[in-house]
Amino acid sequence: MRTVGEILVEARKKKNLTFEQVEKETKIRKKILQQLEEGNWDELSPTYAKGLLKNYASYLELDEKRVLAFFRREYDEKKEKTATRLEKLRPRFSFTPTSITVFSIGFLVLGILAYLFFQYQSFTAAPRLEIKEPADNIKIASREVSVIGKTWNDAILKINGEKIQVSPGGTFSVSVSLKEGINELTVTAENRFGKISTKTITVVVETKGETTADNTKNHETIALWLRVPDKSVFLEVQVDGKLVFGGLMLAGSSKKFEAREKIKIVSEDARATLVKIGDREFPLGDEKGRIEREFTPSAQ
The per-residue pLDDT string of the chain (300 residues; one tens digit each, 9 = 90 and over) reads 678 788 888 888 988 889 898 888 888 888 888 888 888 777 777 777 888 888 888 888 888 888 888 777 776 554 444 334 434 445 555 667 787 888 888 888 888 888 877 766 656 678 889 999 889 999 998 888 889 999 988 888 999 888 888 888 888 888 888 888 999 999 999 988 888 899 999 999 887 765 544 444 455 789 999 999 988 999 999 999 999 898 888 888 888 999 999 999 999 999 999 999 988 999 999 888 899 999 998 866
CATH top-level class of 4-74: mainly alpha
**pTM confidence score:** 0.52
Spell out a b/e string for 251-283, using b for 16 or more CB atoms within 10 Å of the CB, else e.
Answer: bbbbbebebeebbbbbbbbbbbbbbbbeeeeee
- CA-based torsion, 57, 62, 68, 73: positive or negative: negative
Nearest to 175 by CA among 247, 70, 281: 247
How far is it, in rounded angstroms, from Cα 174 to Cα 34? 20
Strand ranges inside the chain, DSSP E:
129-133, 138-140, 144-151, 156-159, 162-164, 171-177, 181-190, 196-205, 222-228, 233-239, 242-249, 253-259, 263-267, 274-277, 280-283, 291-295
Q: What are the structural domain ranges in the chain? A: 4-74, 91-124, 129-205, 222-299
User: Which fold does the domain 129-205 belong to in CATH?
Assistant: Immunoglobulin-like (2.60.40)
What pLDDT is recorded for position 295? 92
